[in-house]
Amino acid sequence: PATIVAQGAAIYAAQYCGIMGERETSKILDIVSHFLGIETYGREFSKLIDKGTDLTVDKSARATKTYQTAVDNQEWIRITIFQSPDEIKYITGAVCLGEFEMGPIPKARAGEKKIDVTFEITNENLLKGNAVLKDESELKGQIEISRSA
């Protein structure tokens, strides 16, 4: 109900300001307001979902990227999710939304173990973060972040 009221208010405001005529139709878009990504080795920001991605009623925004372990014999991985209003190289200035850990990872040399990280923004504006160690599908980590979190 609140969304419908907000959409109606936006249409009324556009008509009142002369941006839109009374008989014109309009389409109100729900878009992702920030770049969403994770922190990688060296405090770098790795973007998964672009700012401005369209969220329609019948479709969620979803992106997957593959990462690898950064050091030899790495046993745990911490996935830290950030948002930023601008495209950035490092996480400095970005806002941390949450984090989760995954492990223990079988010991291996740096770069040998691959991790698929997936972000999904649902129709209910819930951000779901999921990580799966490739070739070890039982080793997973996940988080759900709501707008109020």
Beta bridge partners of 120: 62, 128
Q: Which amino acid makes up residue 147?
A: R
Beta-strand relationship, 77-84 and 44-49: unpaired
Q: What percentage of the chain exceeds 70 in pLDDT?
A: 85
Q: Which of 86, 39, 98, 29 is nearest to 67 (CA)?
A: 39
Distance CA 79, CA 93 (A): 18
Contact indicator for 62, 38 with CB cutoff of 8 Å: no
pLDDT in tens, 91-139: 999 999 999 999 899 999 999 999 999 999 887 778 999 999 988 767 7
Higher pLDDT, 149 or 104: 104
Please state the rounded mean pLDDT for residues 76-88.
95
Helices (H) and strands (E) in the chain, counts: 1, 10
- Using a cut of 0.75, tell me whether the model's pTM lies above it: yes
Which 8-state DSSP code applies to residue 105? P
